[in-house]
Amino acid sequence: MHKATAYHDALGDHFAERAQTSPYNAYTDRPAMLGLAGEVSGARILDVGCGAGHYAAELLARGARVAGIDGSATLLRHARARVNGDAELRLHDLEEPLGFAADGSFDGVVCALVYEHVRNRVQLLSELRRVLRPGGWLLVSTTHPTADWRHFGGSYFSHDWRDLPLGDSELSIHYQRMPLETFLGELLAAGFVLEQLIEPRPTADLREIDEAAYDKLHRTPSFLAVKLRRP
Would you write out the chain's pLDDT as a tens digit for each of its 231 residues?
A: 555 668 787 888 888 888 899 999 999 999 999 999 999 999 999 999 999 999 999 999 999 999 999 999 999 999 999 999 999 999 999 999 999 999 999 999 999 999 999 999 999 999 999 999 999 999 999 999 999 999 999 999 999 999 988 877 788 999 999 999 999 999 999 999 999 999 999 999 999 999 999 999 999 999 999 999 999
- Residue of 17, 16, 40, 212 lying closest to 109 (CA atoms): 40
Task: Classify 136 in phi/psi space as left (phi over 0), alpha (psi -120 to 50) or beta.
Answer: beta
Query: CA-to-CA distance for 185 and 170, rounded, in angstroms?
Result: 34
- Burial class from Cβ neighbours inside 10 Å (0-12, 13-18, 19+) for residue 134 reads exposed
Domain regions of the chain by residue span: 9-229
- The whole-number pLDDT of residue 5 equals 67
Judge: domain 9-229, CATH 3.90.79.10.
Answer: no
